Chain A
Amino acid sequence: MSPRRVLVLGATSAIARETSRRLARGGARLFLVARNAERLATVARDLEVRCGGSVGTLAADLNDETRHGEIVERADLALEGMDTVIVAHGILGDEQRGQASYAEAEIVLRTNFLSAASLLTVIAGRLEARGSGTIVAISSVAGDRGRASNYVYGASKGALSVFLQGLRNRLHRRGVRVVTVKPGFVDTPMTAHLDKGLLFARPETVARGIVRAIERGADVVYLPWFWRVIMLVIRLIPERVFKRLRL
């Protein structure tokens, strides 16, 4: 099998970085996109030293939808035909401020859902025309059910999950796979302010699960696996009861 050609969007996130390291170790060619040029160069250089070869990069703010066509085009050219795309950019946002002010909530919705939807539309069109490829997007267990403590973030990820579900249904007969990744708590800079309990996973663990999902052809993966059980229970609680819980 020829090496994978992977576009990584939001490549400086901890989960994306570990996933890239794992893919590069397996011989994949990578093209990385992230907003902060200095951090992007740090991550790309690290991958080059670890695995040899050169890693393409493009510094861009993915919230600027007008650039999405150009970004995907450039990645596709640099990779000489990308076959895998990982959509990993996202923010946690300030939930309390988001619940108090729509302007704050909109930032989260824009980054986590709208920009992803726009990118996925561009990518889907390209891979569909080619009749092959794998799209992976990082959603979250938070999107499985709205909760008082994080429903703004949860809504952005829930919308993304539904979008991916539909996209998978649409692209299935076109030879393009869509993988929804739903991590639980992960110990990353995004969660630096939270108390770390037993449920926290390392980004390396999540990355291993993502690469396995890419290779095995999963549709929806919970990472680590036990979140599938936890979220099943959470989804089964009747709304009448759920609304009274402090979650």
Chain B
Amino acid sequence: MQRYASWGNYPAAPQRGRRIDWRGDALPLPADGTTFLPRGLGRSYGDSCLNEGGTLLDATGLDHWIDFDEERGLLRAEAGLSLAGVLDVALPRGWFLPVTPGTKFVTLGGAVANDVHGKNHHRSGTLGRFVERIELVRSDCGRLVCSADENSDLWRATIGGLGLTGLMTWVELRLRGVRGPMIDAESVRFSSLDEFFELAVDSDSRFEYTVAWVDCSARDRSLGRGLFLRGNHATVPGPVAARRPRLAVPFDAPALLLNRWTLRAFNALYYRRQRRKVVRRTMAYDPFFYPLDLLQGWNRLYGRRGFLQYQCLVPLEAGRDALHSLFSRISASGQGSFLAVLKLFGDLPSPGLLSFPRPGPTLALDFPNRGRTTLALLDELDSIVRACGGRVYPAKDARMSAQSFQAYFPEWREFTRYIDPACSSSFWRRVTPRVEGRA
């Protein structure tokens, strides 16, 4: 049996797996009547890709292309195909992902199930907006094609549905045409959150991709300083062949590698690396979109105890004050994050029922797992986010309380109607404990 963990290596729980390798096969339901959860490449950080006590249905063998309309940029492929696999074929033919997360090592099915967003959210919204059709295989009603016109309730529930609505066998996705693989990128230094918001508002009209890195170990006057990265698809040609990871982390690093001093030093150096206010360059898409993919297994830098990601969003009106509170709290805790990523979401709505993004700033952080102190800090962050009407991203969560989840996602009650009765996940049982067994 394969060993399965989540990307954050927390929580650590033994997982049973079964594989499905052909889309025409019947759903291999666990014989003992326990639940299953479709599983892709396991890049979800917390427990939304785990099913302790049940079975993980490993769908990475479902990686066949079915169709590619090169005129219209419409692909149909099995749900276990990775975004890297999509790019390998589509990019040389002038097509790019309409929306891409920060790693290309996720499956199409996983990307739909988490309704992923990217640096172009202000222009394009989430990936779910480009999903034309999906095929779902369910334990109760068999095989269904779902789209905006057909089984539309299930289509909406499956986009961002965390894999709980049944097994996705294939996905039909509209791609975006590009002239080449290069990106005209700019990096702009900013010294405060106010400056970030000015840059974001100014850049979002001129750049398809925007995102910022924030030094969250900085305090007082430097609080909120960082680098703003923005870019557009370039028209110059370049090499379309993808870069393979050049370095790999071969084993779990010692737990003390990432401590408050290395973290502060890293953040300060990263900020100071850029001396000029603005740096422009034309770069390949790989390092622009997927810088961390070049370091295979970077999650192991956090050691055996793993790490926790925290991605929240706050409404636009509350944005500045809430972010200020969040950064102050994190900085005071001394548990800062190596990579704090800030992005202003746009207002394009997703069809997904449980889709995460809403208009306003979103902040993503990662924290080495130090047990209770880390969990306590994240609970404090939750209270700030809840107070201003924000929410936390399930794909990255391993610890939010059921009360928090249900406050963040009031749609969850409606969503339970669409859950496949044979599906469950560790995440779902954690955030909806009372309906367990009744759904």
Do A and B share a complex? yes
Q: Would B2 and A187 count as touching, CB distance under 8 A?
A: yes
Q: Would A189 and B2 count as touching, CB distance under 8 A?
A: no
Q: Would A42 and B2 count as touching, CB distance under 8 A?
A: no
Size of A's binding interface in residues, CB under 8 A: 16
Which of A14, A45, A195 contacts B64 (CB under 8 A)?
A45
Q: Would B65 and A46 count as touching, CB distance under 8 A?
A: yes
With CB as the reference atom, state the residue of chain A lying closest to B19: A192
Question: Counting CB contacts under 8 A, is A77 at the interface?
Answer: no
Q: Would A189 and B66 count as touching, CB distance under 8 A?
A: no
B15 to chain A, nearest CB (A): 12
Question: Counting CB contacts under 8 A, is A38 at the interface?
Answer: yes
B66 to chain A, nearest CB (A): 6
A96 to chain B, nearest CB (A): 19
Q: Would A195 and B1 count as touching, CB distance under 8 A?
A: yes
Q: Would A42 and B1 count as touching, CB distance under 8 A?
A: no
A47 to chain B, nearest CB (A): 8
Question: Counting CB contacts under 8 A, is A50 at the interface?
Answer: yes
Instruction: Please indicate which of the listed interface residues B3, B18, B19, B65 has the most CB atoms of chain A within 10 Å of its own CB.
Output: B65
Question: Counting CB contacts under 8 A, is A194 at the interface?
Answer: yes
Chain A residues lying within 8 Å of B2, measured Cβ to Cβ, are: 187, 196
Chain B residues lying within 8 Å of A67, measured Cβ to Cβ, are: none
Question: Counting CB contacts under 8 A, is A43 at the interface?
Answer: yes
A61 to chain B, nearest CB (A): 18
Q: Would A43 and B64 count as touching, CB distance under 8 A?
A: yes
Q: Would B65 and A49 count as touching, CB distance under 8 A?
A: yes
A193 to B21, CA, bound (A): 14
Q: Would A49 and B19 count as touching, CB distance under 8 A?
A: no
Which of B18, B22, B65, B68 contacts A192 (CB under 8 A)?
B18
Q: Would A189 and B1 count as touching, CB distance under 8 A?
A: no
B332 to chain A, nearest CB (A): 43
With contact pairs A45-B64, A45-B66, A196-B3 given, residues A50 and B23 touching in the complex (Cβ less than 8 Å) = no
Chain A residues lying within 8 Å of B19, measured Cβ to Cβ, are: 189, 192
Chain B residues lying within 8 Å of A43, measured Cβ to Cβ, are: 64
Q: Would A39 and B24 count as touching, CB distance under 8 A?
A: yes
With contact pairs A46-B64, A49-B89, A196-B2 given, residues A189 and B21 touching in the complex (Cβ less than 8 Å) = yes
Chain A residues lying within 8 Å of B21, measured Cβ to Cβ, are: 14, 189
Question: Counting CB contacts under 8 A, is B321 at the interface?
Answer: no
A194 to B1, CA, bound (A): 5
B262 to chain A, nearest CB (A): 30
Question: Counting CB contacts under 8 A, is B359 at the interface?
Answer: no
Instruction: Please indicate which of the listed interface residues A42, A187, A193 has the most CB atoms of chain B within 10 Å of its own CB.
Output: A42
Q: Would B18 and A42 count as touching, CB distance under 8 A?
A: no
A70 to B84, CA, bound (A): 40
Question: Counting CB contacts under 8 A, is B67 at the interface?
Answer: yes
With contact pairs A50-B89, A189-B21, A192-B18 given, residues A45 and B65 touching in the complex (Cβ less than 8 Å) = yes
With CB as the reference atom, state the residue of chain A lying closest to B85: A50
A81 to B18, CA, bound (A): 41
Chain B residues lying within 8 Å of A195, measured Cβ to Cβ, are: 1
Considering the complex, which residues of chain B in the window 1-16 have a beta carbon less than 8 Å from any beta carbon of chain A?
Answer: 1-3
Chain B residues lying within 8 Å of A187, measured Cβ to Cβ, are: 2
With contact pairs A49-B89, A189-B61 given, residues A42 and B22 touching in the complex (Cβ less than 8 Å) = yes
With CB as the reference atom, state the residue of chain A lying closest to B67: A49
Which of A14, A38, A193, A196 contacts B24 (CB under 8 A)?
A38
Chain A residues lying within 8 Å of B18, measured Cβ to Cβ, are: 192
Chain A residues lying within 8 Å of B3, measured Cβ to Cβ, are: 196
A220 to B89, CA, bound (A): 33
Considering the complex, which residues of chain A in the window 44-70 have a beta carbon less than 8 Å from any beta carbon of chain B?
Answer: 45-46, 49-50
Chain B residues lying within 8 Å of A189, measured Cβ to Cβ, are: 19, 21, 61
Considering the complex, which residues of chain B in the window 386-403 have a beta carbon less than 8 Å from any beta carbon of chain A?
Answer: none
Interface 1/0s, chain A 127-167, versus B by CB < 8 A?
A: 00000000000000000000000000000000000000000
A184 to chain B, nearest CB (A): 17
Chain A residues lying within 8 Å of B89, measured Cβ to Cβ, are: 49-50
B240 to chain A, nearest CB (A): 13
Q: Would B1 and A196 count as touching, CB distance under 8 A?
A: yes
Chain B residues lying within 8 Å of A42, measured Cβ to Cβ, are: 22-24, 64
Chain A residues lying within 8 Å of B67, measured Cβ to Cβ, are: 45, 49
Considering the complex, which residues of chain B in the window 47-81 have a beta carbon less than 8 Å from any beta carbon of chain A?
Answer: 61, 64-68
Which of A38, A49, A192 contacts B66 (CB under 8 A)?
A49
Considering the complex, which residues of chain B in the window 252-291 have a beta carbon less than 8 Å from any beta carbon of chain A?
Answer: none
With CB as the reference atom, state the residue of chain A lying closest to B23: A42
Chain A residues lying within 8 Å of B22, measured Cβ to Cβ, are: 38-39, 42
**Can you identify 7 A-B contacts, CB atoms within 8 angstroms?**
A39-B22, A39-B24, A42-B24, A45-B66, A45-B67, A49-B68, A189-B19
| B residues adjacent to A (C-beta < 8 A) | 1-3, 18-19, 21-24, 61, 64-68, 88-89
Sample of 10 further A-B pairs with CB below 8 A, known A45-B66, A49-B68, A193-B1: A14-B21, A14-B61, A38-B24, A39-B24, A42-B24, A45-B65, A49-B65, A189-B21, A192-B18, A195-B1
Nearest 7 A-B pairs (CB), nearest first?
A: A49-B65, A46-B64, A46-B65, A49-B68, A189-B21, A38-B24, A196-B2
